[in-house]
Homo-oligomer: A and B are copies of this chain.
Amino acid sequence: MNKLEDKIQHFISKRRVAFLGSIDSEGYPNIKCMLFPRKVEGLTTFYFSTNTSSMRVAQFQNNSKAAIYFCSTTFFKGVMLRGNIEVTQDQTLRDMLWEKGDTKYYPLGVSDPDYSVLILKVKKDEIARVYRID
C-alpha cells in the first residue's frame, strides 16, 4: 500500500454517493448517482445492489465497461476508476449485501428476481493512472 492509495481510500471512505458511468446501446456515456457501494474491497472491487430491471443492468450486460467516480463538490476534487462490471444474482453475494429495509426495493426479499448485484472490478494498473486526487 503506497501513500497515494491510502489518500484515495480515505477520500472515498468520506463519500456518501458514487457516480457510475456506463455506455448505452447507442454508444453514449451515461452517468448515474448511486448510493455508496454496499461493499468495497480496497481499490479493486466495488459491489452495488440494484434492480435487475434497471436500465444500468441492461447496459452492463451489453457492455461491461464502466467508471466509478467519487467527488467532493465542496472541495472540487474527484477520483475516477475504470473497470468492468459483472451483473450477478449469486445468492451468497445477495445474502451478504442485503440490508434491513431492502424490501422497499426488492419486495420479495433476498431471492427477489429483481434483486441483482453489480461487481465492478477495477482495471489492472488503474491506480498508476490516477496520480492524484483532482
Which stretch of A38-46, A68-76, A97-105, A111-119 is in the interface?
Answer: A68-76
Among A23, A24, A33: residue with most chain B CB under 10 A? A33
What's the least CB distance linking A134 to chain B, in Å?
Answer: 10
**B17–A21 contact, CB under 8 A?**
no
Q: A73 is contacted by which of B16, B26, B82 (Cβ under 8 Å)?
A: B16
In the bound complex, residues from chain B placing their C-beta under 8 Å from that of A17 are 73, 76
**B32–A78 contact, CB under 8 A?**
yes
A52 CB within 8 Å of chain B = no
- Which of chain A's residues 6-24 have a Cβ closer than 8 Å to chain B? 16-17, 19, 21-24
Chain A residues within 8 Å of B, Cβ to Cβ: 16-17, 19, 21-24, 26-33, 65-67, 69, 71, 73, 76, 78, 80, 82
14 sampled A-B residue pairs with Cβ under 8 A: A19-B19, A19-B71, A21-B29, A27-B65, A28-B65, A28-B67, A29-B30, A29-B31, A29-B67, A30-B67, A30-B82, A31-B69, A33-B71, A33-B73
